[in-house]
Amino acid sequence: MEKTYKRQNLWKRLKPEYKKAIKQENKKYSYKMANIKEELKNTYWFTDVRYGVAFDVMTPNKLDFLGDAFDPNKSYE
């Protein structure tokens, strides 16, 4: 029997230290954090993330490239 793999969403693949920084940056804005989380839970490719959410992920983590925020070893479950 062949094993099938399921692609993990970006929220699951987001590196823990980056999740923490995003939560810290947006603790006063629960609606903003909810929006970021919702977008990443419903997206599987970082190239599909909307600009505003990409900015909100990259800024507190001082990233130049959005793809660096995600663990490449957690692509499939």
CA distances from 77 to 18, 32, 54, 69, 74 (A): 21, 28, 24, 18, 7
pLDDT band at 28 (very low <50, low <70, confident <90, very high): confident
Give phi and psi for 5, each to the nearest 5. Answer: -115, 145
pLDDT tens string 30-56 = 899 999 999 999 999 999 999 999 999
Q: What percent of the chain has pLDDT over 90?
A: 75
